[in-house]
Amino acid sequence: MGNIFDNIPESLPGEIVESLAAGGDIKIERIISRGHTSPEAGWYDQAQNEWVMVLQGKAVIGFPDKASITLVEGDYLDIKAHEKHRVQWTDPDRETIWLAVHYQS
Protein backbone atom coordinates (compact mmCIF):
# COMPACT_ATOMS: atom_id res chain seq x y z
CA MET A 1 0.00 0.00 0.00
CA GLY A 2 1.15 3.52 -0.65
CA ASN A 3 0.04 7.03 -1.50
CA ILE A 4 1.01 8.58 -4.83
CA PHE A 5 1.51 11.98 -3.14
CA ASP A 6 3.79 10.74 -0.32
CA ASN A 7 7.59 10.92 -0.08
CA ILE A 8 8.19 13.76 -2.53
CA PRO A 9 11.66 15.20 -1.87
CA GLU A 10 12.16 18.93 -1.35
CA SER A 11 15.00 18.98 -3.86
CA LEU A 12 14.58 17.43 -7.32
CA PRO A 13 17.88 17.78 -9.17
CA GLY A 14 16.62 15.15 -11.62
CA GLU A 15 13.26 13.71 -12.55
CA ILE A 16 12.23 10.75 -10.38
CA VAL A 17 10.84 7.58 -11.98
CA GLU A 18 9.60 4.93 -9.55
CA SER A 19 8.13 1.54 -10.38
CA LEU A 20 4.87 0.96 -8.49
CA ALA A 21 3.98 -2.42 -10.00
CA ALA A 22 5.11 -4.61 -12.88
CA GLY A 23 4.40 -8.01 -14.32
CA GLY A 24 4.07 -9.63 -17.69
CA ASP A 25 3.63 -6.94 -20.32
CA ILE A 26 2.65 -4.12 -17.96
CA LYS A 27 4.60 -1.64 -15.83
CA ILE A 28 3.11 1.15 -13.69
CA GLU A 29 5.28 4.09 -12.67
CA ARG A 30 5.11 7.29 -10.68
CA ILE A 31 7.10 10.09 -12.29
CA ILE A 32 7.87 13.34 -10.47
CA SER A 33 9.06 16.38 -12.44
CA ARG A 34 9.67 19.99 -11.43
CA GLY A 35 10.81 21.97 -14.45
CA HIS A 36 12.34 18.86 -16.01
CA THR A 37 12.18 18.15 -19.74
CA SER A 38 13.41 15.45 -22.08
CA PRO A 39 16.97 15.82 -23.37
CA GLU A 40 17.16 18.28 -26.28
CA ALA A 41 18.78 15.67 -28.53
CA GLY A 42 16.50 12.83 -29.55
CA TRP A 43 12.98 11.61 -28.93
CA TYR A 44 11.48 8.87 -26.81
CA ASP A 45 10.74 5.95 -29.15
CA GLN A 46 9.47 3.19 -26.90
CA ALA A 47 8.69 -0.42 -27.79
CA GLN A 48 5.57 -0.41 -25.57
CA ASN A 49 2.49 1.80 -25.51
CA GLU A 50 2.48 4.35 -22.71
CA TRP A 51 -0.65 5.75 -21.06
CA VAL A 52 0.14 8.79 -18.92
CA MET A 53 -1.99 10.91 -16.61
CA VAL A 54 -1.04 14.14 -14.87
CA LEU A 55 -2.29 13.86 -11.29
CA GLN A 56 -0.78 17.17 -10.17
CA GLY A 57 0.91 20.02 -12.02
CA LYS A 58 1.17 20.74 -15.75
CA ALA A 59 3.22 19.50 -18.70
CA VAL A 60 3.62 19.84 -22.45
CA ILE A 61 4.31 16.78 -24.62
CA GLY A 62 5.81 17.43 -28.06
CA PHE A 63 5.76 15.31 -31.20
CA PRO A 64 7.87 15.66 -34.36
CA ASP A 65 4.89 15.38 -36.71
CA LYS A 66 1.92 16.97 -34.92
CA ALA A 67 1.02 19.76 -32.51
CA SER A 68 2.20 19.68 -28.90
CA ILE A 69 -0.30 18.69 -26.23
CA THR A 70 -0.68 20.52 -22.91
CA LEU A 71 -1.72 18.32 -20.00
CA VAL A 72 -3.18 19.67 -16.76
CA GLU A 73 -4.38 17.85 -13.66
CA GLY A 74 -6.67 15.00 -14.62
CA ASP A 75 -5.65 14.92 -18.30
CA TYR A 76 -4.39 11.67 -19.78
CA LEU A 77 -2.79 10.66 -23.04
CA ASP A 78 -2.23 7.31 -24.75
CA ILE A 79 1.07 7.25 -26.64
CA LYS A 80 1.35 4.34 -29.06
CA ALA A 81 4.50 2.22 -29.30
CA HIS A 82 7.18 3.92 -31.44
CA GLU A 83 5.26 7.23 -31.50
CA LYS A 84 8.13 9.65 -31.06
CA HIS A 85 7.56 12.20 -28.30
CA ARG A 86 9.32 14.28 -25.69
CA VAL A 87 8.46 16.26 -22.58
CA GLN A 88 8.90 19.89 -23.68
CA TRP A 89 7.95 21.55 -20.38
CA THR A 90 6.87 20.81 -16.82
CA ASP A 91 5.84 23.36 -14.22
CA PRO A 92 9.03 24.74 -12.62
CA ASP A 93 7.17 26.02 -9.53
CA ARG A 94 5.28 22.89 -8.53
CA GLU A 95 5.81 19.15 -8.81
CA THR A 96 4.18 17.48 -11.78
CA ILE A 97 3.17 14.01 -10.67
CA TRP A 98 2.51 11.55 -13.45
CA LEU A 99 1.01 8.07 -13.44
CA ALA A 100 2.47 6.11 -16.35
CA VAL A 101 1.32 2.68 -17.53
CA HIS A 102 3.50 0.89 -20.09
CA TYR A 103 1.70 -1.96 -21.89
CA GLN A 104 1.67 -4.13 -25.00
CA SER A 105 -1.18 -3.91 -27.52
So what's the pLDDT on residue 39? 85
Q: Where are the domains of the chain?
A: 16-103
Give me the CATH topology for the region 16-103: Jelly Rolls (2.60.120)
Query: Is the Cβ–Cβ distance between 49 and 102 less than 8 Å?
Result: yes
So what's the pLDDT on residue 26? 97
Q: What is the pLDDT of residues 41-70, one digit of tens each?
A: 789 999 999 999 999 999 999 999 999 999
- Taking 50 as the pLDDT cut, the residues of the chain under it are none
Question: Which residue, 53, 38, 51, is CA-closest to 103?
Answer: 51
